[in-house]
Chains A and B, each alone.
Chain A
Amino acid sequence: MTFLVRDARLLALVTFHRRRMQCFCQETGVTTADCELPACTGEESWVDSRTVYIGHKEPPPGAEAYIPQRFPDNRIVSSKYTFWNFIPKNLFEQFRRIANFYFLIIFLVQLIIDTPTSPMTSGLPLFFVITVTAIKQGYEDWIRHRADNSINQCPVHVIQHGKVVRKQSQKLRVGDIVQVKEDETFPCDLILLSTSREDGTCFVTTASLDGESSHKTYYAVQDTKAFNTAEEVDTLHATIECEQPQPDLYKFVGRINIYLDRDEPIARPLGSENLLLRGATLKNTEYIHAVAIYTGMETKMALNYQSKSQKRSAVEKSMNAYLIVYLCILISKALINTLLKYVWQADPNRDEPWYNEKTETERQRHVLIRAFTDFLAFMVLFNYIIPVSMYVTVEMQKFLGSYFILWDDDMFDEELGERPLVNTSDLNEELGQVEYVFTDKTGTLTENNMELRECCVDGHIYVPHAICNGQILPGAAGMDMIDSSPGIDGKEREELFFRALCLCHTVQVKEEETVDGIKRGIHQGKSTSFYISSSPDEVALVEGMKRQDTCIHTLRVINMHSHYLIVLLGFTYLRLKDSHMEILNREDEMERFELLEVLNFDSVRRRMSVIVRSSSGEYYLFCKGADSSVFPRVVSGKVEQVRARVEHNAVEGLRTLCVAYKKLTHEEYEETCRLLNSAKLALQERDKKLSEAYDVIEKDFILLGATAVEDRLQDKAADTIESLHKAGMKVWVLTGDKMETAAATCYASKLFHRNTQILELTTKRTEEQSLHDVLFDLSRTVLRHHGSMTRDTFSGLSGDFHDYGLIIDGATLSAVLKPTQDGNSNGGNYKEIFLEICRNCSAVLCCRMAPLQKAQIVKLIKASKEHPITLAIGDGANDVSMILEAHVGIGIMGKEGRQAARNSDYAITKFKHLKKMLLVHGHYYYIRIAELVQYFFYKNVCFIFPQFLYQFFCGFSQQPLYDTAYLTLYNISFTSLPILLYSLMEQHINMDILKRDPSLYRDIAKNSLLRWPTFIYWTFLGLFDAVVFFFGAFFLFDNTTFTSNGQLMATNTQMMFGNWTFGTLVFTILVFTVTLKLALDTHYWTWINHFVIWGSLLFYVIFSLLWGGIIWPFLNYQRMYYVFMQMLSSGPAWLSIILLIIVSLLPDVVKKVLCRALWPTTTERIQDADKLYKGHLSEFTPLSSLHAPPVRKHDRRGNESQNHTHRRSDSSPPKKLMRTYWGSKPDYCTFSSFLRIGENPRFSGAAYAYSTPGPETSNKLVLPLCKPVNEEHSIGCDCLCPIAFSHDESQPGLHGCRPRRKPLLKMMHKKARKQFAEDKQTKDMDYWNHVLWSDETKINLFGSDGVKRVWRQPGKQTQEGDLGWRQLWILHAQLVPHKETGDGVGMFALRGCLRVLLSPATSSLSKIRTWPGGLGNIGQPLADVRLSFVADFAVAAPQDKTVARGAPATER
């Protein structure tokens, strides 16, 4: 009977699912990441049990055989290594990585055979990498050791022989009776025997286990709760049988046999409510006694320590693919050279000229052995093509790069004081590759902050309405009326309903002021208790019922005559005391109900029930649940009215619950008890039996009514979803909610637009038609449209056209995914058809989803043939499976505990942060790592290929071209830092632009920077450069007197250069070229980049001077002595270095410039534009004009879709911004996403252009307005721009059909802007007070950015009617001196604005209306910003009246 029910059940399901998958894995022999649980335990079977003898006492003879079992001690070992096995184990771990192993092999080969390069060259870097990793891991392990020790040695109190004894925690044994005091942490998994509280309960927080800070109640075994003191407990004689440890935190099945004086032991069931988990903390209870059943590494916490699966990013996969290519290149190089060597050496004079005789042993060696050794030697010579440093750099880049997410101030949550979490840095770049976003609804899209909106009792609507100091606070405005006021009978029902809500819950009353900083005091500190529950709905309901002291919480009943009947609510749930729930009724009387049973909530039943006995001895069963699970069990009550209301509320986006009850007779109650107890006592398949019992009990209800709870959309959720859409991602909402509620949220969050054609794949439809027909119907609809499109459009991702949204529910989904039994050909195709439909839908809503199904969906999409990258985001335990399944799992640190955050790869605090995470961080990470990978391969081709070429000129004798020091240090120090810093700092486009223009994300979609053509380009560039280096130097040396001029000491001498000079020359060109190539690719030169790039070149030069300038005593050769200086003393060397560097860089530069000019990508266009505006682009220009020209489509949506959407247009007038209106009602949702003006009260004010839909009104309003750049500035005048209105239709004929392809601004414009800015620079405060400030630079009323056509007779001016009507809302603060008249400065400014905005077509405004203070009704968000008035005007408005409804005047 925990209060964690909802989550617990969900998690059980999740774990169950995972276990099943694991079984599957083991059967099929697949070892995937999913196969991580220790044992394949089979479905629900009882695996193995253990018997625990409490206090190590043998059971009385004859009862049972005493089999002492051995259990591990209570030592926690989280460390991996011990002092002794650290080195071998760590080395083994490290060399299991394929790259390390490769380098080890190379190193060993170098040691064994006579190789061209010294073993140092590969040994040193390898040693370095291994050592650094080992030190890091060793340090981490040392910390773990320390933590383990402190835990293992902390004292615990154990009862031995009736006395309390202190023991070290690690010496605890299974069967020990432990005493735990308040605020202590449980040392192992314990079965609660007795507590200091007389009712045998104790309170526990499991914050460290699952992050839930609420107090959960645990129950002592009824028959042992009397054993309260140490002596008493010691006399207890009992054994516990329970299952062997399992990792599931919320599942436990066991049985306690208590031997009293009688022979027959008493058996009692044990469940998770009796099990205290290690890691949890005792609260509000003085002490408890409990017996240890799982210790040490067998505790559930330890079992949950298992590391999560390692996810690998797409970039890593392509990196590995490249690696294989390079490995092939390496092997083929070595093979070619070996072959050629033996071909070339066929002539004995070449094989062994007199000047290079072999030793006798060499001559004796078999030719095959020689060939093999040569092959290995070549491998060693060329092995640098796969550099060990690449792995190190990539790891460092990922690790260091992930800090930018942590540091990001934009993602810092001020409320919670939380930063994003990065649980794995391996997936940073995957954030830039997401194609599918699967999001949970509750708590992710919405705030999960529930508020009771209304109740419906027997068809009467009750709206909570706080009356403070005799005034009605503005709440809801228009209400529907359903029935006359309730009669006497109704009154009873009403009270019963409210009682039901007060009783049927698992809410817990918290008496303290704060829990983790969340304050929810009842009222201004007067009362200190507040409610806690794992389900926010319940809190909302109970709180909604509560009466308050100064604000009388009431329900307003609206009847036919719009007469407000104030009903005092005031049922307050006080507490649960001694199994009695105490509630305060309206008359302030305490009512006590004995809580008999709680039939917990689970996601399958979707309802919960309580059985209570009233003080008058009547038994009631109250049930609360989803409409679908309650209605079928209802036998009487006003079902139709309630159903209508529920559906209405669901459409409004409210979460609805139905409440029903039934009275039980005593006999019925006894029967129920029996049923439940037998189910609860079952050791095997308890869950199944319980749910069967529930099924029997919960029926024949009388419907009481329904509740509607509102869950507000999160801040900027709609904006985020819209951005994700524009970025080419498909957003799927997976929710357990019912379809209507979910659909409403989807509309509000802009997942569906008004012109989205909704395809339904729901049980409702499949009831009418067979699934087969529905599927084929839908796919025909989708594909027909698709077929008429050219393939190059954004495959259904954006635009007005063929924008489909699919709604599917859980039942239909399982039908679709279920493999058909009869095995006909159609059956298997359902999945394919379904996928095909989904692919063509921009948004999919899956409702009524079980957690398991969420993961299934993700898996399905993951496995589809494009293998898209998926991202799952959620906040609750029910999202864990989905988060673990998706490529990238993001948890939201929300109200539903930390389950999701703990299992995720990244955790954020708000859904809106996803935008920056993906569009900015993900984008950056991706381009950075893409360049990093490509560049690494490139620079190593440049490095090694000359060495390969040199073999052709040294008789294939494996002569290295470069000196050992150069070979070793090339990747470690000469060229490593620039690319590392590049991969941390690069920003090809400004952050603001990335955020503002999500479509840039498409430029990198599908791993576009790491595709094979790009890879081949880089490789060939590398080959070209290598050829240039080598042959450039070759022709200088070959047959010429390439000599040193002006010897350092003696003049006018000519000296010959040897082979090392040759190599050094090539190497110098190489280092400069690859570094400069990176410099060319760098778009963002901070001082760090300058420092590192020029610094590493300087370092090379200095190193070379030093390396060649000294006779190094530890070397047995001095071949580099003075080589570098001699080279630099030669004029031709300088000339050739310059020449060859330029030649190497030339093709890349030419390619870049030509591509940029001829086929610019969106990114490049924006870079160019940004350059033009000197980084101020983000404030001015409509970026859409910079995009690659979109394919023009002028056909409108088909009539079919029109009808489709109109069919649903039966909603009520606007009340709340987040609610949605289908059909032709204005889409107020736009506002919520734009509203950011609250940040700056001084200049808060916004101008929005607004319009309603209509087939012919596709007018584009572009309002590039000003926005205070820096909100902190009192005068944000660093951004100034003229207000412009694009109005193509003002001229007759069809004009402006061609979309723009380049920046709007030319030099002229820029000058004008500068002038404008300079003019404004000197203005005083007074002037600025007259300026209208607005947020957002551009507002698309609806539809795309493309130009729309309007039908007109030739020669006729645009009629306003042609454009439909428009509505402009201008909201501004502190501008209006005379509110009453709406005149004055504000009005003046407004009129000015309108003139600018809408001339000339609107020169004949039919009316301009203002409502001083009229904003109160637009909704809460707007009211927050203290707006003075709204101007609303309409042009040629036949629908004018509907407009006016948007903002009805309400006097204060």
Chain B
Amino acid sequence: MKNEGETAEQPDNTAFTQQRLPAWQPILSAGIVIPGFLLIGLAFIGIGVGLFLTSQTITVLEMDYTGVEKDEPCFGCTIPNIQNCTCEVQFSLSTLFKGPVFFYYGLSNYFQNFRKYGVSKDYYQLTGDTQYFTSPQDSCSPFAYDSKKIPIVPCGAIANSMFNDTFKLYQLINGTKKQVPFDGKGISWWTDYNIKYRNPSPVNGSFVNAFSGTRNPINWPKPVYELDLTDQNNNGFLNQDFLVWMRRAALPDFRKLYRRITQGDYAEGLPAGNYSLTVHYNYPVLSFDGRKKVVFSNVSWMGGKNDFLGIAYLVVGSLCVVMSVVMLIVYAKFKFSDDDDM
């Protein structure tokens, strides 16, 4: 018999203290895994086929316009120190390029993911905090002040290196150029445009006055408040092109959305025919062996053209099926020999 003292010494005899909690004890045995693999495999193959077929319906037209070779249309613009160079890239579509068509520019061998480059911006400037206009953060250097110690807004390497080629697309109909309307709205993240980035509040009723005492980034021909003079909602830090640029790409070869073609006659897509793309060639890439290109693409429910996902699903799916068969053979053999043993 236990007395009081002993029971006090004894902790509760619970399932937990005795390590006897009720438990589910699954075991990865062949009996579960083989059908499991088969199911996963079949499901993956199904998804893979779906993805692959979807990916096949997407049309992508990609054109490098860097002008490295002499016969390329933009070769002439690659000469250093040339100003306001324009070149024209011609292409033709044999069938309708189904819309909505997305128009991208692409850069390769361009490291937006350099660490120093990545931190070279001032978040507070971009939220419209005018205090930081006059004294940008250190992270922006050497693009914080110009040689005359005038602060730069927006400061930093990212803003300074904003892509500034501009494009115009014309359809050539019987020798006449018909401009294809571009839609530049909503190409950036909704949250970037609506929440994260803010223009400074107007000083003395003028938005421009807020920028007094600062200068535009060195590589920019015009200040940030003149990025889009036509549409005040697309101006300043809220310029969609600027926002797109400010979201750094993950890898050195990247595309960024430039415009969408959703309006007018081209809402259904680009009809078959000849087109001419006029490029205002400003952005130097040859110095670091980079390339520039333009891409037309349409999208599906799963985004842009991406064969990888479909193929990966197919490969993994079939691998699963193969593995399940292999395991079945192994298991059967093992079991068989075992039965023989009995």
Interface residues of A (CB under 8 A from B): 116, 349-350, 353-360, 403-404, 406-409, 412, 414, 417, 419, 924, 953-955, 957-960, 985, 987, 991, 1032, 1034-1045, 1047-1050, 1052-1059, 1061-1063, 1080, 1083-1089, 1111, 1116-1118, 1121-1122, 1126, 1130-1132, 1135-1136, 1139, 1142-1143, 1146, 1149-1150, 1152-1154, 1156-1158, 1167-1168, 1170-1171, 1175, 1298, 1300-1302
Q: Which residues of B in the span 246-293 have a Cβ within 8 Å of any Cβ on A?
A: 247-257, 260, 284, 287-289
Known contacts A1083-B25, A1153-B30; A1041 and B305 CB within 8 A of each other: yes
Cα-based distance from A1055 to B256 in the complex (angstroms): 8
**A1142 with B115: CB separation less than 8 A:** no
Give 12 CB contacts A-B under 8 Å.
Answer: A349-B287, A353-B287, A404-B17, A417-B9, A953-B113, A1040-B306, A1052-B100, A1054-B303, A1059-B112, A1111-B196, A1122-B191, A1168-B29
Contact partner, B251, options A414, A1037, A1053, A1086, Cβ 8 Å: A1037
B21, B186, B191, B257: the one contacting A1086 at CB < 8 Å is B21
Q: A1150 vs B33: C-alpha distance in the bound complex, in angstroms?
A: 9
Which residues of B lie under 8 Å from residue A1135 when comparing CB positions?
A: 47, 51, 302, 309, 313
Interface string of B203-228 (1 = CB under 8 A from A): 00000000000000000000000000
- On chain B, the residues within 8 Å of A985 by CB distance are 19, 21
Partner of A1036, one of B17, B112, B119, B306: B306
Nearest-neighbor residue (CB-CB) of A924 within chain B: B19
Asked whether, in the complex, the Cβ of B299 is within 8 Å of the Cβ of A1054, the reply is: yes
Distance, CA A1087 to CA B303, complexed state (A): 40
Contact A1139 B309 (CB under 8 A): yes
| Complex interface: stretch among B68-76, B89-97, B170-178, B326-334 | B326-334
Please state if B305 and A953 are interface contacts (CB–CB under 8 Å): no
B320 touches A1043 (CB 8 A): no
In the bound assembly, the distance between CA atoms of A64 and B114 in angstroms comes to 87
A1056 and B303 contacting across the interface, CB-CB below 8 Å: no
B23 pairs with A1132, CB closer than 8 A = no
Given A1135-B309, A1153-B33, A1302-B342, 17 extra CB contacts under 8 A = A354-B161, A359-B141, A409-B10, A409-B13, A412-B10, A954-B252, A957-B114, A959-B118, A1036-B306, A1049-B190, A1055-B189, A1061-B250, A1083-B25, A1084-B23, A1121-B191, A1132-B302, A1150-B323
Smallest beta-carbon distance A419→chain B, Å: 7
Determine whether B325 belongs to the interface, using a CB cutoff of 8 Å to chain A: no
Distance between A53 CB and nearest chain B CB, rounded to angstroms: 48
CB of A1116 within 8 A of CB of B137, answer yes
A1167 — which chain B residues lie within 8 A by C-beta? Answer: 27
- Residues facing A in B166-193 (CB within 8 A) are 186-191
Q: Known contacts being A356-B116, A359-B141, A1054-B304, is A1132 close to B309, with CB within 8 Å?
A: yes
Q: Are A1175 and B25 in contact (CB under 8 A)?
A: yes
In contact, B316 and A1139 (Cβ under 8 angstroms): yes
The answer to whether A116 and B22 touch (CB under 8 A), given A357-B143, A1135-B51, is: no
Distance between Cα atoms of A1055 and B258 in the complex (Å): 10
CA distance A124 to B137 in the complex (A): 25
CB neighbours (8 Å) of A356 from chain B are: 111, 114, 116-117, 120, 157, 161
On whether the beta carbons of A1300 and B341 are closer than 8 Å, the reply is: yes
- Across the interface, A1132 reaches (CB within 8 A) one of B247, B303, B331, namely B303
- Is B82 part of the contact surface with A, judged by Cβ < 8 Å? no
- Asked if A353 and B303 make an inter-chain contact with CB atoms under 8 angstroms apart, the answer reads no
**Shortest Cβ distance from residue A1278 to the other chain B in the assembled complex, whole angstroms:** 15
CB distance from B152 to the nearest CB of A (A): 13
Chain A residues whose CB sits within 8 angstroms of the CB of B63 once the complex forms? none
Q: What is the size, in residues, of chain B's interface with A at 8 Å between Cβ atoms?
A: 98
Residues of A with C-beta under 8 A to B229: none
Asked whether A116 and B257 contact (CB < 8 A) given A350-B288, A1153-B327, the answer is no
Q: Which residues of A contact B143 (CB under 8 A)?
A: 357
Chain B residues positioned under 8 Å from A408 (CB to CB): 17-18
Q: Smallest distance from the beta carbon of B293 to chain A beta carbons, Å?
A: 11
> Which one of B23, B188, B196, B331 has the greatest number of beta carbons of chain A within 10 Å?
B23
A1132 contacts B306, C-beta separation under 8 Å: yes
Could you say which of A955, A1050, A1118 contacts B190, with CB atoms under 8 Å apart?
A1050
Partner of A1059, one of B250, B288, B308: B250
- Nearest A residue to B191 via CB reads A1122
Whether the Cβ atoms of B304 and A1042 lie closer than 8 Å is yes
A1058 touching B248 by the CB < 8 A rule? yes
Closest to A1063 in B: B250
Partner of A1045, one of B11, B195, B301: B301
B77: interface (CB < 8 Å): no
Complex contacts, B299 vs chain A, CB 8 Å? 1041, 1043, 1045, 1054
Q: Which chain B residue has the least Cβ–Cβ distance from A407?
A: B17
Q: How far is the CA of A1154 from the CA of B327 in the complex (A)?
A: 7
Minimum C-beta distance from A220 to chain B (A): 37
A1139–B288 alpha-carbon span in the complex (Å) = 36
Q: Cβ of A1087: which chain B residues have Cβ within 8 Å of it?
A: 21
- Which interface residue of A360, A959, A987 has the most chain B CB atoms within 10 A? A959
Name B residues whose Cβ lies closer than 8 Å to a Cβ of A: 2, 5-6, 9-11, 13, 17-30, 33, 40, 44, 47, 51, 100, 102, 104, 110-120, 123-124, 137, 141-143, 157, 160-161, 186-191, 194-196, 244, 247-257, 260, 284, 287-289, 297, 299, 301-306, 308-309, 312-313, 316, 319-320, 323, 327, 330-331, 334, 338, 341-342
CA distance A1083 to B25 in the complex (A): 5
A1061 to B256, CA, bound (A): 15
- The minimal Cβ–Cβ distance linking A598 to chain B, given in whole angstroms, is 38
**Of B141, B190, B301, B320, which is within 8 A of A1048 by CB?**
B190
Most buried by B among A409, A1038, A1055: A1055
Question: Could you say which of B44, B284, B302, B330 contacts A1157, with CB atoms under 8 Å apart?
Answer: B330
* Cα distance, A1158 to B257, chains bound together (Å): 54
**Contacting B255 at CB < 8 Å: which of A414, A960, A1041, A1126?**
A1041
Q: Are the C-beta atoms of A1302 and B113 separated by less than 8 Å? A: no
In angstroms, Cα B120 to Cα A1221, docked, is 89
- Per the bound structure, the CA–CA distance linking A1047 and B24 in Å amounts to 42
Residue in B40, B113, B302 whose CB lies within 8 Å of A959 = B113
Q: Cβ of B2: which chain A residues have Cβ within 8 Å of it? A: 414, 417
Residues of chain A within 8 A (CB-CB) of B102 are: 1041, 1054
Q: CB-CB < 8 A to A1036: which residues of B?
A: 306, 308-309
Q: State how many angstroms separate the Cβ of B133 from the closest Cβ of chain A.
A: 16
Bound-state Cα–Cα, A954 to B102, Å: 27
Evaluate contact between A1055 and B188: CB separation under 8 angstroms: yes
Interfacial chain A residues near B253, Cβ < 8 Å: 1038-1039
Please measure, in the bound complex, the distance between the C-alpha atom of A357 and the C-alpha atom of B156, giving whole angstroms. 10
A1139 near B44: Cβ-Cβ < 8 Å: yes
Closest residue on chain A to residue B114 by CB atoms? A957
Q: Is the CB of B323 within 8 A of A1168?
A: no
| For the complex of A and B, 9 pairs with smallest distance between CB atoms | A1041-B304, A355-B161, A1062-B250, A407-B17, A1059-B250, A1086-B21, A954-B113, A1085-B24, A959-B115
Chain A contacts of B284 at CB under 8 A? 354
* Residues on A with beta carbons closer than 8 Å to the beta carbon of B248: 1058-1059
Closest-CB distance, A240 to chain B (whole angstroms): 43
Min CB gap B93→A, angstroms: 19
Cα distance A1255–B216 in the bound complex, in angstroms: 104
A1245 to B6, CA, bound (A): 31
- Complex Cα spacing A133 to B331, Å: 52
CB neighbours of B104 from chain A (8 A)? 1041
Q: Is there contact, CB below 8 Å, between A1084 and B25? A: yes
B residues in contact with A957, CB < 8 Å: 111, 113-117
**B190 / chain A contacts, CB cutoff of 8 Å:** 1047-1050
Contact A1146 B320 (CB under 8 A): yes
Decide: B304 and A1300 in contact? CB cutoff 8 A. Answer: no
Q: Which of B117, B194, B250, B301 contacts A1058 (CB 8 A)?
A: B250
Q: Which of A1040, A1050, A1158 is within 8 Å of B304, CB to CB?
A: A1040
A357-B143, A1038-B253, A1116-B123 are known contacts. Are A1050 and B288 too (CB-CB below 8 A)?
no
